[in-house]
Amino acid sequence: MKDRYTPISLEFSERCSAFSPIQPIGIVNYLPHSNVSFKISSSVRYSLHSGQCKPSEYLKGLTHGCNTENDSSCCKAGEEYPQYYCSPPITAETHATMTINSFAKGGDGGGPSECDGRYHSDDEMVVALSTGWYNHGSRCLKKIRIHANGKTVLAKVVDECDSVYGCDADHDYQPPCANDIVDASPAVWSALGMDGDDIGDYHITWSEA
């Protein structure tokens, strides 16, 4: 995803909990850490008190066919899909939803992986992260630990699961990802001992390796 810089307005309130979100746009990087909360109204909304991030806007879908491998969903006309620049804060045990994706050529992942411009076979231990966690590629080609089904595996970040844009050719006419997705290759699912009915939306925790 290309960086987009837009004007923002900030609303401050006092005495909120500590905050360490993934920063979606450059100007936020210059804000000092402080014991305040703020809301960025035009691109992303943070609630520091609740520790949540909320959709910035909603993308209206258009009907178009897409690759439905791995039960991928296609955009629907008139459907509104939330767009997130942010993801939940990363901790030692970050809660996430793991989905399955083929990063191979012709797979439901669409084009080559953003981090290295390559396709990856279904036998490789690779993942894509939601936009906030992907953080403009700062985690590209780094490994994360995924904990699920009583097992722990390492997987390499090779792509962004775009939480902002979708429903176009670049995204194989699929909706934007949710903001808490670890989109994993079939090899990751297999290494975690899951197949068949286990595959779908699966609650996991992950951490940086």
Please list the helix, strand and coil fractions of the chain in percent, rounded to the nearest 5, in that order: 15, 30, 55
Q: Are strands 151-161 and 143-148 parallel, antiparallel or unpaired?
A: antiparallel
Asked if residue 4 belongs to a domain, the reply is no
Residue 188 has a pLDDT of: 98
pTM of the model: 0.69
The Cα 73–Cα 71 span in angstroms is 6
Q: Kind and range of the H or E element at 153? A: strand 151-161
**CATH number of the domain residue 184 falls in:** 2.40.40.10
159 belongs to a structural domain: yes
With tokens 């307005």, the residue in question is 9
**15 and 63 part of one domain:** no
Q: What is the pLDDT of residues 136-168, one digit of tens each?
A: 999 999 999 999 999 999 999 999 999 998 777
* 3-class SS of residue 166: coil
Residues 23 and 94 in one domain: no
- Same domain assignment for residues 46 and 65: no
The amino acid sitting at 71 is D
Is 2 part of a structural domain of the chain? no
Three-state DSSP at 179 gives: coil
Confidence class of residue 64 from pLDDT cuts 50, 70 and 90?
Answer: low
Q: Are residues 141 and 94 in the same domain?
A: yes
Residue 70 is predicted with a pLDDT of 64
- The two three-digit tokens of residue 61, written as one number: 């879908």
If we measure between CA atoms, which residue out of 111, 54, 63 comes closest to residue 83? 54
**pLDDT tens, position by position, 28-44:** 333 333 333 333 332 33
Q: 189 and 100 share a domain?
A: yes
Q: Tell me the C-alpha distance between 182 and 129, whole Å.
A: 5
Report yes or no on 164 lying in a domain. Answer: yes
Q: What's the structural domain count of the chain? A: 2
Q: Tell me the residue range of the domain where 146 lies.
A: 58-208
Instruction: State residue 8's pLDDT score.
Output: 36
Residues 50 and 128 in one domain: no
Looking at the structure, tell me whether residues 191 and 174 fall in a common domain.
Answer: yes
Reduce the DSSP state of residue 141 to 3 states and report it: coil
With a CB cutoff of 8 Å and minimum separation 6, the contacts of 30 are none
Report the C-alpha gap between 133 and 107 in whole angstroms. 23
Two structure tokens written together for 130: 């939601």
CB 148 within 8 A of CB 204: yes
The continuous run of DSSP H or E covering 52 comes out as strand 52-54
Domain-embedded: residue 1: no
